């Protein structure tokens, strides 16, 4: 069952993957993100961040508010390199 529940769509991580990390002793969402890539894909954790936090909260007996949130990284939405280039070149002129 846990193998069929997808937590992170971009990185194809299941509930079993996340629970395995927690079982290994990782009780900080940042650590799990760095070791599994959960939330590092193109959507930047828009779905999985909260699911991950909830799993860690349940396992560690803490409330979600007590956990260290994974970092929100710019630019939030994917931007084509050439668009950045175009905008920047205009500003330079």
The yes or no reply on residue 19 touching another protein (CB under 8 A) is: no
* CA dist., res. 22 & res. 31, Å (int): 10
Q: How far is CA 49 from the centre of its chain?
A: 5
Tokens 């959507």 correspond to 43
**Selected range binding another protein among 1-9, 26-34, 48-56, 58-66, rule: CB under 8 A:** 26-34
First to last CA, the chain: 57
Footprint (CB under 8 A) of another protein, residues 27-46: 28, 30-31, 34-35, 37, 40-42, 44
User: Rule CB under 8 A: which residues touch another protein?
Assistant: 28, 30-31, 34-35, 37, 40-42, 44, 71, 73-75, 78-82, 84-85, 87-88, 91
């Amino acid at each position: 069952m846990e193998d069929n529940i997808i937590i992170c769509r971009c990185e194809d991580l299941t509930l079993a993957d996340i629970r395995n990390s927690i079982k290994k002793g990782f009780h900080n969402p940042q650590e799990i993100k760095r070791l599994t890539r959960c939330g590092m894909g193109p959507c930047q954790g828009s779905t999985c961040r909260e699911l991950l936090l909830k799993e860690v909260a349940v396992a560690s007996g803490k409330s979600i508010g007590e956990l260290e949130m994974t970092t929100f990284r710019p630019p939030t939405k994917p931007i084509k390199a050439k668009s950045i280039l175009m905008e920047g070149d205009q500003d330079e002129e």
